[in-house]
Amino acid sequence: MAYRDVRTVLVVGAGAIGTSWAAHLLRHGLDVVLVDPDRPALERARTLAAAFIEEGDGPADTLDHLTTTTEVETYAPAADLVIEAGPEVLDVKRDLFGRLDSLTGMDVLLTSSSSGLPPSSFAGAAGRHPERVLVAHPFNPPHLVPLVELVGAPTTAQSALRAADAFFTGVGKKCITLRTELPGHVVNRLQAALWREAYDLVGRGVVSVADIDTAIAWGPGLRWALLGPFATQHLSGGAGGIAHILEHLGPPTAEWWKDLGDPILTPDLCAAIVAGMTEEMDTTGQDEDGLRARRDATLRGLIRAKEEAGLP
């Protein structure tokens, strides 16, 4: 199956992810139709997309290529690619993919931004052509962070995965393709592993929420922003590289694994985490909007620096 060259992208869902996707695609010169049954959500999305584009120094006429609508039936037949960014609710996704399958051409990729649902859980709803359904999970926010995880169901054609890789790479994304489905895909599972231990350490009173944030943001997180965990280990091993690390630090690491926590998100633990986060924000004098804006500006600078340095 040959999939279409993409000029018009239908983005389904005007929440945070869909809006961010729309801004990113607009900045790459594509026409975007953003559809959502909630008209006020569409109005908010247009305002947010304009702000995202302005922050990224997008062309002045970029927003002219954005159409917002509540009528998926009217615009879906003209789409060259679909990005579903609706609620993370299986029944909703199955309904959407059933409708999109009937409304779009068979040579149109149907992708989902699902953060954890395996594509096989909803691909079957596309009864005509399930082979073009896959997950293309962005890392939030998509208009800033390049990563996209591509995940196929057993029914997904390899040609669909290759076409998705080519498209998303072409609009500036860094793609990884999973060889099998997993709940949560890869990146969220890696995050969940860290969060599990962080929540346990807070619950046991070892450190505060702020201490955990400081430990990661000013320690390994700095290195992980430049290279992944394996490459970081390899460089830490000196002349022996990762082989030296595995030989000398592997055994104690295996012992640490045995001692890692297995927390339960009890009301008390949740309350402690929320209280700790509130205290961290109050102590540092941060407001969420200002902190988010400074984070996003720094992200853009970091990505530029990585590209200029030729880091992988």
DSSP-based three-state secondary structure for 66:
strand
Q: Do 127 and 263 share a domain, yes or no? A: no
Is the pLDDT reported for residue 258 higher than 80? yes
CATH code (residue 69): 3.40.50.720
- Output the average pLDDT for the chain: 96
pLDDT tens digits for range 150-187: 999 999 999 999 999 999 999 999 999 999 999 999 99
Q: Residue 296 — very low, low, confident or very high, per pLDDT cuts 50/70/90?
A: very high
* Long-range contacts, stretch 5-9, CB < 8 angstroms, 24+ apart: 5/80, 6/30, 6/80, 6/81, 6/167, 7/31, 7/80, 8/32, 8/33, 8/78, 8/79, 8/80, 8/81, 9/33, 9/79, 9/80, 9/81, 9/82, 9/83
Domain at 281, CATH number: 1.10.1040.10
Same domain, 191 and 173: no
Closest CA to 53 of 136, 61, 68: 61
95-101: list long-range contacts, CB under 8 Å, 24+ apart: 95/125, 96/12, 97/122, 97/123, 97/125, 97/126, 97/133, 98/125, 98/126, 98/127, 99/72, 100/12, 100/72, 100/76, 100/126, 101/125, 101/126, 101/127, 101/128, 101/129, 101/130, 101/133
Residue 71 in domain: yes
On whether residue 1 sits in a domain, the answer given is no
Which of 144, 177, 210 terminates a domain? The answer is 177
Of 145, 177, 209, which residue is a domain's last? 177
Q: For residues 302 and 170, state if they share a domain.
A: no
Name the domain count of the chain. Answer: 2
- Residue partners of 129: CB distance under 8 A and separation at least 6: 101, 106
Q: Which domain holds residue 48?
A: 8-177
Q: What are phi and psi of 16, to 5 degrees?
A: -60, -45
Residue 121, in any domain of the structure: yes
Q: How far is CA 183 from the centre of its chain?
A: 14
Do 136 and 223 share a structural domain? no
72 and 211 in one domain? no
pLDDT digits (tens, 9 = 90+) for 189-207: 999 999 999 999 999 999 9
Indicate whether 82 and 157 sit together in one domain: yes
**Is residue 2 situated within a structural domain?**
no
Regarding whether 40 and 96 lie in a shared domain, the answer is yes
Residue 212 forms part of a structural domain:
yes
Residue 135 parent element (H or E): strand 133-138
Q: Domain for residue 182, yes or no?
A: no
pLDDT digits (tens, 9 = 90+) for 13-29: 999 999 999 999 999 99
The answer on 195 and 171 residing in a single domain is no
Q: What number is the average pLDDT over the span 105-120? A: 97
